[in-house]
Amino acid sequence: AIAQPTGIGFLWGRLDVLETMPPYQSGGEMIDQVTLEGSTFASPPGRFEAGTPAIAQAVGLGAAVDYLAGLGMANVEAHEHDLARYLVERLSAVDGLALYGPPRGEARAALAAFSVAGVHANDLSTFIDQDGVAIRAGHHCTQPLHAALGISASARASLYVYSTRADVDALVESIVSTQRLFAQLGG
């Protein structure tokens, strides 16, 4: 994601492939000719853009692209890689935390899925939220993976260009604090 509004994005496709594909949706602007006997479709990309365009979202998408271009994509990438390494390093040091995804040292995005022994991901998310740290909790549309891992849910921390190492530190401090609280409640 590049911080654009929801409901919009872009997909690159080779023209020769797009020309062979039928439209997946019908509506205004995706047709070429309509008669009582049949219809023909517009050339790509128009045949895949049925209905009223998402104008406000397109303006927002353009602003997001301009913002990232202003930062410089090499800078964005370097920042993401630095944060990813730091996130994995800090989470790996938390006792009782199982980190999912590529092993430490391998290239990865600046996000991490994890679980904490003795604390359900939804509870963890709720308590961390009280410290002003936002994470996601649930199955993240990967229920078969969670079943294979033997867990019902995981937590996920996702970082972006505005995230800092201090944000990672706050996350880890809140995880450890929540672990202590649950340990006291359970024993």
What is the tens place of the pLDDT at every residue in 67-102?
A: 999 999 999 999 999 999 999 999 999 999 999 988
Q: Is this prediction's pTM over 0.75? A: yes
- 134 or 3, higher pLDDT: 134
Distance, in Å, from the CA atom of 174 to the CA atom of 132, rounded to the nearest integer, reads: 9
User: Which token pair is 62?
Assistant: 């353009």
Among residues 34, 36, 55, 141, the one annotated as catalytic is 141
User: Which token pair is 32?
Assistant: 């070429």
Distance, in Å, from the CA atom of 156 to the CA atom of 108, rounded to the nearest integer, reads: 14
141 is catalytic: yes
Sign of CA dihedral 176, 178, 184, 186: negative
Closest CA to 123 of 173, 177, 84, 170: 177
pLDDT of 1 > 70? The answer is: no
pLDDT of 54 > 90? The answer is: no
- Average pLDDT in the chain: 92
Dump pLDDT digits (tens) for 134-143.
999 999 999 9
Distance, in Å, from the CA atom of 114 to the CA atom of 62, rounded to the nearest integer, reads: 34
φ/ψ bin of 72: left (φ > 0), alpha (ψ from -120 to 50), beta (otherwise): left
Average pLDDT over residues 116-124: 96
Percent of the chain clearing pLDDT 90 (strictly above): 76
State the alpha helices, DSSP H only, in 1-107. 15-18, 55-71, 73-92
- Residue 172's SS3 state is helix
Distance, in Å, from the CA atom of 81 to the CA atom of 117, rounded to the nearest integer, reads: 27
Task: Give the pLDDT score at 173.
Answer: 98
Average pLDDT over residues 46-50: 90
Asked if residue 164 lies in contact with residue 143, where contact means CB atoms within 8 angstroms, the answer is no
What separation in angstroms does the CA of 25 have from each of 9, 28, 55, 91? 17, 10, 18, 44
